[in-house]
Amino acid sequence: MIKDKEARIAPVSGKEANDGVPADVAAAAAKLNDVAWRRFPQFEETFKGDGVQHMCGKIEATCRQLDRTIQSGSAREKARAKAAMQAYGLALELLKQVRELAEKQNQKDTGRR
């Protein structure tokens, strides 16, 4: 099964794909020169009002529960909780980056008016 996945990963721009992007996905992405015109209303709605704060609050509550599991759980539970905490940390970093990009775009849009 792993060999099948590896077979679908192809070089990108003459280089081996380090990030594990399948060849068909890389080819499709290469064809899309400009995706800035696309709109994602449901995704954008998350970043309006208190959507991000609400989401971050849920993540923080979950992380507190995971921290308790790390303190008192079995070895297996601790390992799973640590992995989940790392994933939530990455999710928070992604939220931060998306919010910053959205703010930059809003500033550009406001400056054009």
User: Poorest-confidence range of 23-32, 33-42, 72-81, 91-100?
Assistant: 33-42
More confident residue, 81 or 52: 81
Spatial contact of 105 and 40, defined as CB atoms under 8 Å apart: no
pLDDT value of position 105: 81
Q: What proportions of the chain, in percent to the nearest 5, are helix, strand and coil?
A: 75, 0, 25
Q: Is the pTM of this model over 0.75?
A: no
Tokens of 27: 């080819």
SS3 assignment, position 29: helix
Per-residue model confidence as pLDDT tens digits over 46-77: 777 788 888 888 999 999 999 999 999 999 99
- Report d(CA 11, CA 21) in Å as an integer: 9
Please give the helix or strand (H or E) that residue 88 lies within, else none.
Answer: helix 75-112
Which runs of E-coded beta strand occur in 1-113?
Answer: none
Tokens of 107: 């500033």
